Amino acid sequence: MNKTHPRILIIVFGTILILCGCVILQTQGAIAKSNYDTLGLWLESDRTRAQIGIPIQIRYAVKNMGERTWILESLDTPVMDINVQIPGGSVVLNWASQNPDKVSHRLEWQPGESKTIELVWTPKQEEYTTMPTA
Question: How would residue 111 be classed by pLDDT, with cut points 50, 70 and 90?
Answer: very high
pTM given for the model: 0.74
Contacts of residue 57, Cβ cutoff 8 Å, sequence gap at least 6:
45, 46, 47, 118, 119, 120
* Domain coverage including residue 87: 2-122
pLDDT tens for each residue of 67-88: 999 999 998 899 999 988 877 7
* Domain-embedded: residue 60: yes
**What is the total count of domains within the chain?**
1
Whether 134 maps to a domain, the answer reads: no
Residue 7 included in any domain: yes
Q: Is residue 133 part of a domain?
A: no
Q: Report the DSSP pairing between strands 114-121 and 56-64.
A: antiparallel
Rounded to an integer, the average pLDDT of 87-113 is: 91
Q: Is residue 129 part of a domain?
A: no
